[in-house]
C-alpha cells in the first residue's frame, strides 16, 4: 500500500487554483518549442493525494524490452474525452487549462493520463509524447503534479541531446506545460532517485489523439 505524508505547511483549505499569470515563467526553447512553468499553481494540493491514491483504478503495465518482458516502473490510468475525472477538482483544472491553451494548434486539452510514482525506484525514461498527432504536429501537454516533488528533465532530441538537461522539481501543485514542437524536438524524463521519497502523482492533460 502506498501512503503519503503531506507537507506540514498544508493550509487544510481544500484544493484551489492560484492565478496562472502570477509566477508563470515561459521559456522559448528554439525550433518552435516552448515550456511554461508555474510552481505551486494548485493551493493545498496535498488534500487530494490520498483520494487519488485510493480512488484511481491504477494499472500496472508490462512492456517488451529487447527480448524480455519487464514491468513498467510506475502505475498508470487514463481518462478519455468526456470521461469524468477521479476527483471533481481535476475537472476544474482541465477546464481552466482547456480555456487557456485552447487556441493552440490541436485545440483544447481533453484527456488525462495519470502516473503514480510509488517511490524513488519508479521513473519514466527519456521520451516525447509522439504516439498519434504529436509525432507530426504541434501539441500542448500540461502536467499538474501532486505529492512528493520529483526531478523532471527536459533535453533536445538527437545529437544535441547529450548536453545539459533543463531540470525542474515537480510535485505539490506545480504546473509544467510543454508546447509547440516540444514533443518532437525535445524529450523528457523523470529519473529514479536513491533518496527515500513518498509517492508523486502526475496528471497529464493532452489534446485528443496524442499519447
Applying CB under 6 A, the residues found at the interface with ligand AKG are: 113, 115, 124, 129, 143, 152, 170, 188, 190, 202, 204
Q: Shortest Cβ distance from residue 77 to ligand AKG (Å)?
A: 11
Instruction: Count other C-beta atoms under 10 Å from residue 99's C-beta.
Output: 12
Q: Closer CB to ligand AKG, residue 35 or residue 143?
A: 143
Q: What separation in angstroms does the CA of 189 have from each of 18, 96, 126, 128, 178?
A: 26, 25, 5, 9, 13
Which residue is closest to ligand AKG by CB? Answer: 202
Q: Closer CB to ligand AKG, residue 14 or residue 161?
A: 161
Q: Closer CB to ligand AKG, residue 8 or residue 25?
A: 25
Per-residue H/E/C for 141-200: EEEEEEECCEEEEEEECHHHHHCCCEEEEECCCCEEEEEECHHHHEEEEECCCCCCCCCE
- Interacting residues of 119 by C-beta distance below 8 A, sequence separation 6+: 2, 196, 197, 198, 199
Q: Shortest Cβ distance from residue 190 to ligand AKG (Å)?
A: 5
For 90, phi then psi, to 5°, come to -70, -30
Helices (H), the chain: 49-55, 88-101, 182-185
Q: Which of 106, 88, 82 is nearest to 207 (CA)?
A: 106
Q: Shortest Cβ distance from residue 127 to ligand AKG (Å)?
A: 6
Q: Closer CB to ligand AKG, residue 70 or residue 125?
A: 125
Q: Shortest Cβ distance from residue 126 to ligand AKG (Å)?
A: 9
Q: Closer CB to ligand AKG, residue 165 or residue 190?
A: 190
Q: Shortest Cβ distance from residue 85 to ligand AKG (Å)?
A: 16
Q: Shortest Cβ distance from residue 141 to ligand AKG (Å)?
A: 8
Q: Closer CB to ligand AKG, residue 52 or residue 143?
A: 143
Read off the C-alpha cell for 73. 516502473
Pair 196, 85: CB distance under 8 Å: no
Amino acid at each position: 500500500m502506498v501512503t503519503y505524508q503531506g507537507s506540514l505547511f498544508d493550509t487544510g483549505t481544500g484544493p484551489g487554483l492560484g492565478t496562472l499569470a502570477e509566477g508563470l515563467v515561459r521559456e522559448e526553447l528554439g525550433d518552435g518549442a516552448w515550456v511554461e512553468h508555474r510552481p505551486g499553481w494548485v493551493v493545498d494540493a496535498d488534500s487530494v493525494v490520498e483520494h487519488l491514491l485510493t480512488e484511481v483504478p491504477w494499472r500496472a503495465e508490462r512492456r517488451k524490452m529487447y527480448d524480455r518482458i519487464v514491468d513498467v516502473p510506475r502505475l498508470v490510468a487514463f481518462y478519455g474525452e468526456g470521461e469524468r475525472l477521479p476527483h471533481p477538482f481535476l475537472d476544474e483544472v482541465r477546464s481552466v487549462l482547456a480555456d487557456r491553451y485552447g487556441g493552440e494548434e490541436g485545440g483544447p486539452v481533453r484527456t488525462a493520463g495519470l502516473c503514480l510514482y510509488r517511490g524513488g525506484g519508479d521513473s519514466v525514461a527519456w521520451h516525447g509524447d509522439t504516439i498519434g498527432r504529436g509525432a507530426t504536429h504541434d501539441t500542448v501537454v500540461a502536467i499538474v503534479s501532486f505529492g512528493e516533488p520529483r526531478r523532471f528533465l527536459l533535453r533536445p532530441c538527437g545529437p544535441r541531446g547529450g548536453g545539459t538537461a533543463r531540470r525542474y522539481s515537480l510535485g505539490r501543485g506545480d504546473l509544467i506545460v510543454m508546447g509547440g514542437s516540444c514533443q518532437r524536438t525535445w524529450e523528457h524524463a523523470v529519473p529514479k532517485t536513491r533518496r527515500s521519497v513518498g509517492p508523486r502523482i502526475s496528471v497529464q492533460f493532452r489534446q485528443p489523439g496524442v499519447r
